[in-house]
Amino acid sequence: MTKTSNKEKEISPKIVEDSGEQEGACTICHVRLRPGSPPVTYAVKDLHLKEGEWVVVPTDHGPEIGQVTRHPVTLPLVQGHIPPFVTRLATTSEIEDYYKNLEMEDYGRRVCQRLIGALDLKMKLVKVERFFDGSKIIFYYSADGRIDFRELVKRLVRELRIRVEMRQIGIRHEAKLIGGIGCCGRELCCASFLSGFDPISIKMAKTQNLPLNPNKISGFCGRLLCCLTYEYETYKEMAQDLPGLGKACETPDGQGKVVRHNIFRQAVTVAMPDGTFVEYTMDQLDGSSDETEDLGQREMERPMDQKSSSNPSNQGPDGKKRQGKRQQRRPKGQGPKPSSKKEKKEGKTAPGEAEKNHVGRPRKNQRSKKNKKRGGKKRGHNRKRAGKKIQKKKDDAKKS
């Protein structure tokens, strides 16, 4: 007994490497193993098959009987990517056993459905499959959470007299096994040719400019459409050179904001400052960017004097060049700043201060030294106060 497994392990055999087959043309055919299941690709070596013939093919759990759905075709295949070969044509007795197998699957489905109702289990039986050799029967079901099916398995084994396996599947695999018609009017991709499920995100719909309406981008199973992955890489590759939506963009008519993409025309719609919307191709935008790059290069090549003179922000109302903070500082030759308020008013400096400022330690070290001294005094003062409080408490305790 096992709980969960992938359906693809039975319906889609792995691609094997055939060392004897040389690189070149190979004849392949499609074989349907179960009514309503997607066909599986097999290679044909020394058989002349026609549509509708019964053949024996290898699978993961042993040989199975299937029917050829299309006339075999010859295709060039690379060595190492050749599918497994059809074993042989099926005999009449094997075809009869195949139909008996289908009858056994129908009977097992009815029995399991009756026992699920009797045990009141919250699970939905999707499909039943029995191996061709009759060694095992598999029940595929879907449920919201984990199901205790031990009693169900005991009763199934008692009635069917065969090994029973329960496999829980997701909602996508349920749609794959049941089949149906999609919103495009064709058979579901998962039930017709897809052998596996690729991860799908809402980002794929956004990249392809599709409406983000759940009813339009959701499939039969209620999840995002599998066909969103078919053209996603093409859209992604073509949209690499386009500027992002909402970003500023330089155009021949000025700067604007990108509001829409046209991937196939390689064009963008730009919202201009005056409220108009203009569509530009990438060739037009590349031309405008080249012009801006040329202007920037000219600006870099101009001398510093011309740059500063051309910049009106550096000039005052009288046309003279403004002085920044660094230019307004006191020159070195005029000595240090006055240290006290009186000296500031009189314009004098304390004797020997100039020598200290120029020869002695930096001011930063002097400040840190003063802070250390202040901190030491504060700590000593605090210790004295704490000692007095402790002594006062002791005296009060003695008096009491």
Confidence band of 36 (pLDDT split at 50, 70, 90): confident
Triad 56, 58, 61: Cα angle to 5°: 120
Whether residues 137 and 32 share a domain: the answer is yes
Q: Helix 92-119 and helix 150-160: axis angle, to 10°?
A: 140
Question: Is residue 86 in a domain?
Answer: yes
Whether residues 217 and 288 share a domain: the answer is no
Whether residues 135 and 222 share a domain: the answer is no
Whether residues 157 and 274 share a domain: the answer is no
Comparing 243 with 361, which gets the higher pLDDT? 243
Q: Which domain holds residue 165?
A: 1-184
Distance CA(391)–CA(102), nearest Å, equals 102
Confidence band of 197 (pLDDT split at 50, 70, 90): confident
Q: Taking the model in full, what pTM does it have?
A: 0.56
Distance CA(267)–CA(241), nearest Å, equals 10
Comparing 139 with 82, which gets the higher pLDDT? 139
Q: Which amino acid is at 359?
A: V
Whether residues 137 and 73 share a domain: the answer is yes
CB–CB of 60/13 below 8 Å? yes
Distance CA(176)–CA(169), nearest Å, equals 10
Question: Is residue 193 in a domain?
Answer: no
Question: Is residue 365 in a domain?
Answer: no
pLDDT of 196 > 90? The answer is: no
Share of the chain above pLDDT 70, in %: 69
Whether residues 138 and 168 share a domain: the answer is yes
- What's the number of domains the chain is made of? 3
In a 13 Å sphere around the CA of 235, the CA atoms on its Cβ side amount to 15
b/e for 2-20, b at 16 or more Cβ within 10 A? eeeeebbebbbbeeeebee
Question: Is residue 323 in a domain?
Answer: no
Secondary structure class of 29 (helix, strand, coil)? strand
Distance CA(324)–CA(23), nearest Å, equals 78
Whether residues 112 and 11 share a domain: the answer is yes
CB–CB of 44/28 below 8 Å? yes
Confidence band of 31 (pLDDT split at 50, 70, 90): very high
Whether residues 148 and 169 share a domain: the answer is yes
Please say which residue of 298, 314, 336 terminates a domain.
298
Whether residues 179 and 105 share a domain: the answer is yes
Question: Is residue 329 in a domain?
Answer: no
Residue with tokens 């019964």: 54
Q: What does the pLDDT average to over 196-217?
A: 88
pLDDT of 323 > 60? The answer is: no
